[in-house]
Structure 1
Amino acid sequence: MVSAGVYVFDLDGTLVDSVEAHMAAWLEALRALGVNKSWDEVRPLMGLPAHDIARALLPERAGELAALKNKLFLEKYLPLVRAYGDAEVLRLLPRPIAVVTSSSGHVARRVLVAVGLAPHVDLVLGGDEVPRGKPAPDPLYLVSQRLGVDTRDMVVVGDSDYDMEMAQAAGAAAVCIARKTPCRKAQHVIHTLHELLELPVKIFKNPPYETRGP
């Protein structure tokens, strides 16, 4: 067990500006399968694992819908995705750093490579790579196993209540980055990722390693 804090980041809406791109891919995939849904019908589902979104939208063809959505996203919408400027803070934080996302794992890894953040991330877990995705705590338990870190020594940074619920269920600190969607269940709220460098050490059960330089 390492006596240091570990940061666990959400991806979409936290490190990268990609929610609209995912939304567009979902809506196009639905239309291709003969289903018309509005933006307002789909938007509340963002943040859930992709397979759960697909089951909610088209249960009888969920697998087909999820596969088509991922294909459209990677082929058509990925070039529109950009890292937020403050995501550069990843290179200043102690390692290891994990990304836990509701996106499919292979999609998340492609996104991180495309926006240049992959070298700063040690572990990526997609929503299809855990028994239960957000808001269940399962992803953090798997991070704990993979990195040898107690969940109570994790700081989860995300932009939705699904992230906050996952963190609190596992005993981790829950930090909301207030971008487009307000978090109602956060323990701490920040407005830029650079504020992570200034958060009190007491949010960890054990103190983190010293912050690394550029």
Structure 2
Amino acid sequence: MESEVGHIVTVASGKGGCSKTSLVTLLSGNLAAAGYRVAVIDADPNASYHQWHQLYEGPEINCFCEIRHEEIVDAAQGRAESYDVVLIDTAGFGNTTAAFAAGTADLVLIPIMPDRASAVEAMRTARQVQAFGKAGRREIPFRIVRSRWNPRGLVERAVGADLTEAGLPLIEQHLSDLSDFGKLSLTGKVPTSGKVGEQAMGIIKEMIGLGAVPAAPAKVAA
């Protein structure tokens, strides 16, 4: 095993139902299919990812549950010693564990749905991530991920304008509102081809460009 430490990516938002778990599911499955050694820490008391993982069919993804705020940092950093990428699926930012998970991340992804409430919560979450970075005297990179998104939709364009006005950085690749995306919670299979797979890999390539995912797999999982 190489000595280089893996990367930690936290998916966070204070808003429920904004596709946090779906995003983690899609990214973890496509990273594993690309040969990366992937660990997912389910830090949500609802354990939605953990429950889905019991159905998972595909290249190895190791799933761990840790909802205690005093343990999440050690859990994430410890896993990063053995895996290329550690993804953390969080509850809302009212949950202290989610705050600690953001604080230890190399990148925070903030999913947003095409509605005004999501935009408001994305702005709030972004401010919180920036505050965590100031507390730790470091910058925590973050990006907005647009989920179930139709770039030509009137609501999407209005929400996009709000994000632009707020100066929030976006992942350029959005996730469309496709049936395969909606089926993620009902099946153990993750789309790694077709439109959904292409969009997932588009996000991963941007994450590589941001230094939040290694350019190539390197680790041997524990």
Same fold, judged at TM 0.5 (above): no
Higher-Rg structure is 1
The structure with more helix, counted as a fraction of residues: 1
